[in-house]
Amino acid sequence: MAEYKQKENSFTLWKNKFKKDGDKKPDYTGNGIVNGKKKDFSLWINETDKGDRYLNGQFKDEYKKDTPF
């Protein structure tokens, strides 16, 4: 099976399995590449006072776990 390669200026999102009702955690999380750099993406499903649903998202530099060594 061929290995998947992320394309430039694209992203992939997955449903957040750790979100519970009432959490402020994103509904979807994922990653992508913007201008040649890996980024982490977050997406929330929101609703206006009139009941219209919309999507709100953000991306930031890829999370890198600090290693003590």
CB 29 within 8 A of CB 18: no
Instruction: Please state, in angstroms and rounded to a whole number, the distance separating the CA atoms of residues 15 and 5.
Output: 20
Q: What is the pLDDT of residues 11-61, one digit of tens each?
A: 999 999 999 998 999 999 999 999 999 999 999 999 999 999 999 999 999
Q: What is the pLDDT of residue 61?
A: 95
Distances (CA, A) of 16 to 3, 13, 51, 61: 23, 9, 23, 19
Claim: this prediction has a pTM higher than 0.85: no
CB 6 within 8 A of CB 31: yes
Q: Tell how many helices (H) and how many strands (E) occur in the chain.
A: 0, 4
